[in-house]
């Protein structure tokens, strides 16, 4: 079992906008192409967050800093709530909206006269923030579900020859979580815990020629054992909760078709089956079952090199939901479609500005969730989700 004791991070609250509670907000450049080709394009320092090996494609020191703003909307309708020993209640439609700024920063530094390149990155791979009003009539399923994380990574790449490069690094993952449900005062669910875990990443880059290249990366994510205040239903109080995080594999390709156009794509696999339940070593039963399935996304994009100063890009992503047999009102996930557009402007030979916009729409999904404490509660609902994403980034080479 991947288990690491963790400490504290009250840094940023994140509304998840990729499937599950994964975040895709590592760069504004990537957003503009729906992150298609991100593990190999290497047009700025943000590549260190996707594939360390591809840092070898950058020939001079570069720093990238930016942020992605996520404005999301989740609507619940046809809500039917059945508490113990009671008839089914129809609850009014309700909506949740959230706007969150997710920052990122990246550095790539080739070591002059060697085949080595070093890199560092600060970004987030996971997060969610869902909170219902106190007046919501099914508090055992509503309440608050919050998870935030920051990934601080340090990587190195080695160029074996003109075609092949290898890379890898360590990831220090800071995170905190807060969950609250209040079906009654005697048996609430309250979690307020935080900490840090250690992961790693590996990558390979293969350059066929100046117009074609491929990248492959693997990211190991630890199971975080967060310490704090944990009170789970009738099991009483303890001081830790285990939060499993999924490993991620990504394959990307880039093909420059002519002087003006390039096509690129990515396939990402996320091992969400590792997120099976929330547990504590001090409890005899799980706190919450999820039993998700492995999922991922497919993205395709194009880049248009308008002139020496301006690049335009666009992309589409189909993002698969990991939700399987057990659905949840607190993480209302569905398959998602991304439509994105962006561009880069070279203000000088050293400074580039990237801007991007994306629209995400989720397929309508049905939720049927049960929770047994002493007696069984049930809720059914229909969920629709969408989001607008806006990104900005500065890239400086020196």
pLDDT in tens, 284-296: 677 777 777 888 9
Q: Are 238 and 220 in contact (CB under 8 A)?
A: no
Q: What is the mean pLDDT of residues 78-82?
A: 88
Residue 394 pLDDT > 80: yes
- Which has the closest alpha carbon to 311: 62, 27, 24, 33? 33
Interatomic CA distance for residues 278 and 63, integer angstroms: 38
Assess if CATH 2.40.160.60 describes domain 4-397. yes
Nearest to 253 by CA among 300, 303, 219, 290: 300
Q: Assess contact for 282 and 311: CB atoms under 8 A.
A: no
Q: Which two tokens stand for residue 168?
A: 């890898």
pLDDT for position 207: 98
| Residue-wise pLDDT tens digits, 320-376 | 888 765 567 777 678 899 999 999 999 999 999 999 999 999 888 888 888 776 678
CA dist., res. 218 & res. 18, Å (int): 18
* pLDDT, tens digit (0-9, with 9 covering 90-100), for 258-280: 999 999 999 999 998 877 777 77
Residue 150: how many CB atoms within 10 A of its CB?
22
pLDDT category of residue 59 using cuts at 50, 70 and 90: very high
pLDDT above 90 as % of the chain? 49
Q: Which carries the bigger pLDDT value, residue 221 or residue 298? A: 298
Residue 285: the pLDDT is 73
pLDDT (tens digit per residue) in 161-218: 999 999 999 999 988 888 888 766 566 778 888 888 999 999 999 999 999 999 999 9
**For the whole prediction, is pTM greater than 0.75?**
yes
């Amino acid at each position: 079992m991947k288990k690491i004791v963790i400490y504290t991070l009250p840094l940023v609250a994140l509304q998840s906008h990729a499937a599950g509670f994964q975040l895709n907000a590592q760069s504004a450049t990537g957003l503009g192409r729906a992150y298609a080709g991100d593990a190999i394009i290497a047009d700025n320092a943000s590549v260190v967050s996707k594939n360390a090996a591809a840092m070898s494609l950058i020939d001079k020191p570069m720093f990238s800093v930016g942020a992605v703003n996520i404005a999301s909307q989740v609507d619940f309708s046809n809500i039917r709530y059945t508490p113990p020993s009671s008839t089914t209640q129809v609850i009014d439609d309700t909506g949740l909206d959230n706007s969150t700024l997710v920052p990122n920063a990246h550095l790539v530094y080739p070591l002059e006269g060697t085949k080595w390149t070093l890199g560092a990155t600060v970004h987030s791979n996971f997060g969610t923030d869902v909170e219902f009003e106190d007046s919501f009539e099914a508090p055992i399923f509503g309440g608050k579900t919050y998870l935030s994380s920051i990934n601080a990574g340090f990587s190195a790449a080695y160029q074996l020859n003109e075609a092949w490069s290898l890379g890898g690094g360590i990831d220090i993952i800071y995170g905190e979580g807060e969950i609250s449900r209040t079906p009654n005062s005697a048996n609430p669910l309250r979690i307020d815990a935080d900490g840090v875990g250690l992961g790693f990443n590996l990558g390979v880059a293969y350059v066929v020629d100046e117009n074609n290249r491929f990248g492959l990366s693997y990211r190991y994510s630890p199971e975080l054992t967060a310490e704090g205040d944990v009170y789970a239903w009738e099991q009483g109080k303890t001081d830790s909760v285990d939060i499993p995080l999924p490993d991620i594999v990504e394959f990307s390709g880039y093909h420059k078709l002519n002087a003006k156009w390039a096509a690129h794509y990515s396939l990402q696999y996320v091992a969400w089956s590792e997120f099976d339940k929330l547990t504590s070593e001090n409890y005899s039963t799980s706190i919450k079952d999820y039993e998700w399935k492995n999922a991922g996304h497919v993205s395709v994009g194009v880049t248009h090199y308008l002139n020496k100063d301006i690049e335009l890009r666009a992309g589409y992503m189909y993002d698969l939901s990991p939700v399987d047999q057990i659905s949840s009102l607190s993480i209302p996930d569905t398959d998602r479609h991304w439509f994105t557009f962006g561009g880069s402007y070279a203000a000088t030979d050293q400074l580039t500005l990237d801007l991007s916009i994306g629209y995400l729409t989720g397929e309508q999904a049905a939720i049927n969730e049960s929770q047994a404490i002493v007696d069984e509660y049930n809720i059914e609902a229909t969920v629709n989700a969408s989001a607008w994403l806006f990104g900005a980034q500065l890239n400086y080479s020196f």
